Amino acid sequence: PLDMAVWYPSATSATPQLFADNVVFVGAPAVPDAPPIAGEHPLVVLSHGFGGNWGNQAWLASALAGQGFIVAAVNHPGTTSKDRSPDAAAQLWQRPVDLSRAIDAVTAQPEKIGAVAKNRIAVVGHSLGGRTVLEIAGARFDPDRFDRDCAINPQLSSCYNYQKINPASTAELKSKLASDLRDKRVSAVVSLDLGLSRGMTDESLAALPVPILVIAAGAPSKELPAQLESANLIQRLPKASSRYIEIADASHFTFMSLCKTGAVQRLDEDVPGDGIICGDGENARPREVIQQQVVSLIRDFLGEPANR
């Protein structure tokens, strides 16, 4: 089973409530089980990062739904804060499959959440989710290539987390990790400061058949520097259909929900160092302002051309 949340446009006048709101993160407003607006709507499926959950990008889901998109977000078993099973985590190839299952579920319920425009299905992923959305679009992962790269760049958090997950520990897992996981229903991809891209093959990236928007965090980072991940990725993608935006004052965690007052202390008391997820770049604009920029970039990208 997959836990999934879906936002969709509605004309309801009912009072919204906050979802994905907790002691750390500010939630996003929505009306539960409201009647959907008639007609077809583009679909966006969200993939969270390692150890995250569907609530991490609720700010983005709520904003896009308010502009006419249906947005679905799943918890990836094994790599979510709701389920850290090592066996499930090791099946890293299942993440793109999770997104395909989300597309299946959403398109099967038009009366409940609205009808999906079949030729307008996009995927958006943050961090490990960025790798996930590349794979469902047709990118292929080479475990041997990634191992060689991590021997050269062991400081990257993507290498540390990959070793922690250990997704290539058997011949069967390694084979599935390198398999073709493309879902031909996906028509556009957005990557938010992704990780593990250095394991993707040059050939599969150069042949990706859908438009791609790569958004990178420009704040200096030893563990996930833009120049070794997002900026490196864009050099290997088709130039005619790929766009790259680096936001100078965004950190890797800027793409997660806003933190509440006292959140850093709460996080550090629970796990020392975890308060970093509330930090943005040096002299950064408020996180909500940067996120408004991200919403605009994604909305403009998905809105062009009209037949996407």
pLDDT tier at 308, thresholds 50, 70, 90: very low
pLDDT tier at 304, thresholds 50, 70, 90: very low
pLDDT tier at 306, thresholds 50, 70, 90: very low
pLDDT at 126: 98
Tell whether the model's pLDDT for residue 298 goes beyond 60: yes
Q: What is the mean pLDDT of residues 152-170?
A: 95
Tell whether the model's pLDDT for residue 156 goes beyond 80: yes
Count of Cβ atoms closer than 10 Å to residue 51 Cβ: 17
Tell whether the model's pLDDT for residue 181 goes beyond 50: yes
Tell whether the model's pLDDT for residue 154 goes beyond 80: yes
Residue 282 to residue 220: CA distance in whole angstroms: 9
Q: What is the pLDDT of residues 221-244, one digit of tens each?
A: 999 999 999 999 999 999 999 999
Q: What is the DSSP secondary structure assignment for residue 199, as one 8-state letter?
A: G
Residue 85 to residue 57: CA distance in whole angstroms: 22
**DSSP β-bridge partners for residue 190:** 124, 213
Tell whether the model's pLDDT for residue 189 goes beyond 90: yes
Could you give the percent of the chain with pLDDT greater than 70? Answer: 98
DSSP assignments along 76-130, one per residue: -TTSBTTB--HHHHH-TTHHHHHHHHHHHHHHT-HHHH-EEEEEEEEEEEETHHH
Q: What is the pLDDT of residues 62-107, one digit of tens each?
A: 999 999 999 999 999 999 999 999 999 999 999 999 999 999 999 9
Output the pTM of the full model: 0.96
Degrees, nearest 5: CA angle 10-16-18: 120
Residue 2 half-sphere exposure toward CB, CA atoms < 13 A: 24
